[in-house]
């Protein structure tokens, strides 16, 4: 499997599937010189290919703009024009302007729900074309000769949420604010190609449609290398994690140094050498900052929960006999089962010990924290035991599975959020709201973890890919497949039957795709993602709450 193909395992399956579409490669004069998949055109250094951008203005002089879905592989969450995509290597899209317009009609229907019967009556005015490059990250890039099409029409829309996050109709003044990042557009991200379209094809004459159409430019405008004028979405979260990581890691390692027995200390610190962003450790601090009263006690609290979290991982790996964790040998492999069990026990003790020693945590809060974290450990253990017993049951319901992961995984997120709010002196209403946010964040996290176990790869996951299928775990994907009553021969052959050949695993995954089970789990994750965002909408808006919003979005691609 190529590096490009491996990247798709991290992304939405519908968006990944479209990466197989064949784009038209072009030279600098826009002559077609071959074809390549959308994946290859956009991965690594990319290849120059033909594209189009549709501008729609209604009869009130307002322009339709869209925020690209956060499921998009390139430039997710970025604001752009009404529709932009690529003509494909199919008969009615390969030839010149007519092919470009046919491709535009196809995508307007697929993205915005504007039917062919409506667009066949439209006049698509060509305003000219331009070439540009713009990199999203180290993997993905745009390299396009982009043809600009202008349409004036009132439209009824039925947007595809897999493609589009939000739409707006903007007048001239709002468009100017958008391009200058003034007012409500501060902190938003506008596609660089859209800014070029505005600058070179629209701004001078907007909203006079006749002048716009008559100002068509000849030749291909070379806009060269373009850049996002700010860091891509999620940078606030990345900055926050980076800011707090060293402080909480220092607290963690100092706490673990209490163990003087050399081999046991090595086993206790083993997983912490495998990297990671320390999400759970930093989460109480992020909640404290969002509510408005963070203190150093949040670092101690985060260190406590992270140490206890790692204790559960050490024991989980023994139970599941998983050999890899975070790209390292699991503790029971690097040492032995007895030492790993002993190390986990000691880590649990250290977690509570450092809470009691903190000068930043009052006696009243300490009592609450010990109770909350003790409850968390109990719920995690209950959830783990349910997970074990599920493997020996013929039938596990979806409701039982959600209840199990609410304990095994979500309890830790819920506790991070609840206790972080308590240490900030938040009201009972805010504490309850943040607990609900953490619960749904954790449910989404675990459902995405199940999803990525099927669609990812061992190097990316830090544990064997497809291990849930091989071990016969009753994840939501497996439960849905079993309830589907479909004849999933390949899945049934290897489910819970131990190691298998890679081709057998891939055939089983194809069964799960065809049954709709993988997509069902993804949609369930998005349901809890939506509830988490609703909880954040109950808070007074500030940059720190925006960081929690980014966390809620970014954990869909598994920050851990």
Q: 433-461: per-residue pLDDT in tens?
A: 999 999 999 999 899 888 888 876 544 44
Give the C-alpha separation, 55 to 152, whole Å.
Answer: 8
Task: Quick: pLDDT tens for 330-357.
Answer: 999 999 999 999 999 999 999 999 999 9
Q: How far, in Å, CA of 244 to CA of 239, rounded?
A: 9
pLDDT of residue 459: 45
Residue 386 · residue 407 · CB < 8 Å? yes
Q: In this model, does residue 379 exceed pLDDT 70?
A: yes
Reported as half-sphere exposure (CB side, CA atoms, 13 A), residue 185 has a value of 22
In terms of C-beta density within 10 A (0-12 exposed, 13-18 middle, 19 or more buried), how is residue 125 classed? Answer: middle
Stated as kind and residue range, the H or E segment containing 320 is helix 297-320
Residue 373 pLDDT greater than 80, yes or no: yes
CA 55 to CA 201: how far, in whole Å?
10
Q: What is the residue whose two structure tokens read 């996951």?
A: 461
Q: Looking at the domain covering 235-557, what would its CATH class be? A: mainly alpha
Average pLDDT over residues 526-554: 88
User: Rounded to an integer, what is the distance from CA 374 to the centroid of its chain?
Assistant: 31
What percentage of the chain has pLDDT greater than the value 90? 62
The alpha carbons of the chain give a radius of gyration, in whole angstroms, of 26
Judged by average pLDDT, the poorest of 444-448, 464-468, 520-524 is 464-468
Which pLDDT band, with edges at 50, 70 and 90, does 558 fall under? Answer: very low
Low-confidence winner among 3-12, 124-133, 270-279 (lowest mean pLDDT): 3-12
pLDDT of 500 reads 85
At residue 124 the predicted structure's pLDDT band, cuts being 50, 70 and 90, is very high
Domain coordinates in residue numbering, the chain: 3-226, 235-557
Which DSSP state fits 113? -
Does 300 or 140 have the greater pLDDT score? 300
| CA–CA gap between residue 474 and residue 493 (Å, rounded) | 15
pLDDT band at 240; cut points 50, 70, 90: confident
pLDDT-derived band of residue 465, with 50, 70 and 90 as boundaries? low
**pLDDT above 50 (res 559):** no
The Cα 279–Cα 297 span in angstroms is 17
Instruction: Confirm if 88 and 24 have CB atoms less than 8 A apart.
Output: yes
Fold of 3-226: Nucleoside Triphosphate Pyrophosphohydrolase (3.90.79)
In angstroms, the CA 350 to CA 339 distance is 16
Spatial distance between the Cα atoms of 420 and 434, rounded to a whole number of angstroms: 9
Specify the 3-state DSSP secondary structure of 509: helix
pTM of the model: 0.59
> What angle do helix axes 502-514 and 476-483 make, rounded to 10 degrees?
70
Question: How long is the chain?
Answer: 560
Task: Output the CA angle 261-264-269, nearest 5 degrees.
Answer: 115
Q: Are 175 and 57 in contact (CB under 8 A)?
A: no
HSE-up of residue 322 (Cα within 13 Å, Cβ side): 25
Residue 481 near residue 517, CB atoms below 8 Å? yes
Cβ-in-10-Å burial (0-12, 13-18, 19+) of 72 comes to buried
Q: Which residues contact 339 (CB under 8 A, 6 or more apart)?
A: 263, 264, 267, 331, 332
In terms of pLDDT, which residue wins out, 461 or 143?
143
| Nearest CA-CA partner of 238 in 556, 551, 494, 552 | 551
pLDDT of residue 554: 72
Residues whose CB is less than 8 angstroms from the CB of residue 480 and which lie 6 or more positions away in sequence, other chains included: 398, 515, 516, 517, 520, 521
Name which residue leads in pLDDT, 463 or 363.
363
Structure tokens at 284: 């109480």
Query: Does residue 244 surpass a pLDDT of 60?
Result: yes
């Amino acid at each position: 499997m190529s590096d490009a193909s491996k990247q798709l395992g991290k992304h939405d399956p519908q968006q990944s599937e479209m990466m197989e579409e064949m784009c038209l490669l072009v030279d600098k004069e826009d002559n077609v010189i071959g074809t390549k998949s959308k994946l290859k055109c956009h991965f690594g250094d990319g290849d120059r290919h033909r594209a189009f951008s549709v501008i729609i203005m209604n009869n009130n002089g307002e322009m339709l703009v869209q925020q690209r879905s956060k499921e998009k592989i390139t430039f997710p969450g970025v604001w752009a024009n009404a529709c932009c995509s690529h003509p494909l290597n199919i008969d009615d899209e390969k030839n010149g302007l007519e092919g470009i317009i046919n491709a535009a009609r196809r995508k307007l229907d697929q993205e915005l729900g504007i039917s062919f019967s409506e667009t066949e009556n439209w006049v698509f005015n060509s305003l000219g074309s331009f070439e540009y490059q713009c990199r999203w990250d180290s993997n993905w890039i745009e390299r396009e000769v982009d043809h600009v099409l202008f349409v004036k029409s009132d439209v009824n829309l039925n947007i595809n949420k897999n493609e589009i996050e939000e739409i707006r109709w903007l007048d001239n003044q709002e468009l100017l604010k958008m391009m200058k990042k003034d007012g409500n557009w501060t902190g938003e991200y506008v596609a660089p190609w859209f800014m070029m379209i505005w600058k070179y094809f629209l701004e001078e004459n907007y909203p006079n449609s006749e002048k716009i159409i008559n100002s068509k430019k000849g030749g291909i405008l070379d806009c060269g290398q373009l850049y996002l004028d700010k860091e891509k979405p999620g940078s606030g979260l990345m900055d926050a994690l980076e800011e707090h990581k060293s402080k909480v890691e220092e607290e963690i390692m100092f706490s673990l140094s209490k163990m003087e027995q050399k081999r046991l200390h090595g086993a206790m610190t083993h997983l912490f050498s495998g990297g990671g962003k320390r999400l759970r450790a930093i989460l109480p601090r992020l909640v404290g900052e969002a509510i408005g009263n963070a203190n150093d006690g949040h670092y101690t609290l985060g260190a406590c929960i992270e140490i206890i979290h790692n204790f559960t991982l050490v024991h989980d790996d023994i139970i599941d006999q998983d050999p890899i964790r975070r790209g390292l040998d699991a503790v029971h492999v690097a040492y032995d089962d007895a030492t790993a069990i002993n190390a986990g026990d000691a880590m649990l003790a250290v977690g509570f010990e450092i809470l009691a020693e903190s000068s930043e945590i009052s006696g009243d809060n300490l009592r609450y924290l010990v109770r909350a974290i003790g409850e968390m450990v109990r719920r995690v253990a209950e959830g783990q035991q349910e997970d074990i017993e599920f493997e020996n049951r013929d039938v596990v319901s979806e409701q039982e599975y959600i209840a199990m992961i609410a304990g095994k995984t979500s309890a830790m997120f819920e506790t991070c959020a609840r206790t972080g709010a308590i240490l900030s002196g938040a009201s009972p209403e805010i504490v309850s709201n943040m607990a609900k946010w953490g619960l749904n964040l954790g449910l989404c996290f675990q459902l995405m973890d199940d999803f990525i176990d099927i669609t990812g790869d061992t190097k990316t996951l830090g544990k064997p890919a497809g291990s849930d299928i091989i071990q016969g775990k009753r994840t939501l994907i497996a439960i849905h497949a079993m309830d589907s009553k479909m004849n999933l021969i390949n899945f049934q052959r290897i489910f819970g039957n131990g190691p298998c050949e890679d081709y057998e695993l891939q055939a089983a995954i194809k069964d799960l795709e065809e049954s709709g089970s993988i997509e069902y789990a993804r949609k369930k994750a998005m349901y809890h993602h939506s509830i988490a965002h609703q909880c954040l909408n109950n808070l007074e808006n500030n940059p720190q709450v925006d960081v929690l919003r980014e966390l809620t979005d970014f954990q869909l691609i598994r920050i851990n």
